[in-house]
Amino acid sequence: MWKFDPSEPVRLVKDMVKEGVGLLSNSGGNPYYIYPQVTRPFDKSSYGIPTPEEHPLESIQRLFYLTSVVQEAAGDVPVVGNGYSWLRNFLPYAAAANIKAGRCRFVGLGRESFAYPDAPADVLKKGAMDPNKCCITCSLCTQIMRDHGTTGCVIRNSKVYMPIYKKFNAEAVEREHRS
Ligand code: SF4
């Protein structure tokens, strides 16, 4: 498991807070990186991306730790936690535990908000998320991004995003063949 070196981000956070920044969000990397699990743990990888040796829960643990370090450095300034989508309908429980423990003040949803934009409303109104509406961490939305398209959920909103996924992937394959 990779280790996170907090020294540089902690210094940056403290400097930003000193300069008056009032809200922070953090991540561990970006989805274009060769190891996208650093920031978005998944079950199925994008094309050409190696399957990580670590379990997605280890990736999530690292992200949660990173956020807790940033929140501690930020003091009273709220930090938005991330890295929850792989947890599917168990996401609210991890979110509640992290907020209760002071490891973050908010929880941000990325892929989950593509797949299931009503998730927060369902948690508030019904007390739970519907497993059949959750993101399945298939990385197809990441693939659209990597292929330079405008992305969304290919699985839960396939009418809109499956044609986009196919178009941009075909173009990416053609570019690769030409180069
Ligand atoms: S395409 Fe949809 S189900 Fe697949 S990872 Fe993206 S948001 Fe999740």
Q: What is the pLDDT of residue 1?
A: 60
Q: Enumerate residues 6+ apart whose C-beta is below 8 A from 145.
A: 31, 32, 151
* Domain ranges, ordered by start, for the chain: 24-139
pLDDT tens, position by position, 131-161: 999 999 999 999 999 999 999 999 999 999 9
Query: Which of the listed residues 133, 140, 169 should we mutate to test ligand 1's pocket, taking the one with most ligand atoms within 8 A of CB?
Result: 140
Q: Which atom of ligand 1 is nearest to the CA of 134?
A: 3
The answer to whether 119 and 112 are in contact (CB under 8 A) is: yes
DSSP code of 130?
A: -
The answer to whether 129 and 77 are in contact (CB under 8 A) is: no
Q: What is the pLDDT of residue 28?
A: 81
Q: What is the pLDDT of residue 15?
A: 98
Q: What is the pLDDT of residue 7?
A: 93
In the three-class reduction of DSSP (H, G, I as helix; E, B as strand; rest coil), residue 88 is classed as helix
Amino acid at 173: V
User: Residue 139 Cα, ligand 1 centroid: separation in angstroms?
Assistant: 6
Question: Is 111 touching ligand 1 by the criterion CB < 6 Å?
Answer: yes
The answer to whether 151 and 144 are in contact (CB under 8 A) is: yes
Q: What is the pLDDT of residue 46?
A: 87
Query: Which of the listed residues 129, 147, 153 should we mutate to test ligand 1's pocket, taking the one with most ligand atoms within 8 A of CB?
Result: 153
Return the residue whose CA atom lies nearest to atom 6 of ligand 1.
141
Q: For the chain, list residues with pLDDT below 70.
A: 1-2
pLDDT tens, position by position, 74-93: 999 999 999 999 999 999 99
Return the residue whose CA atom lies nearest to atom 8 of ligand 1.
135
User: Residue 137 Cα, ligand 1 centroid: separation in angstroms?
Assistant: 5
Q: Which atom of ligand 1 is nearest to the CA of 137?
A: 5
Q: What is the pLDDT of residue 153?
A: 98
Taking residue 124's Cβ as centre, other Cβ atoms within 10 Å add up to 9
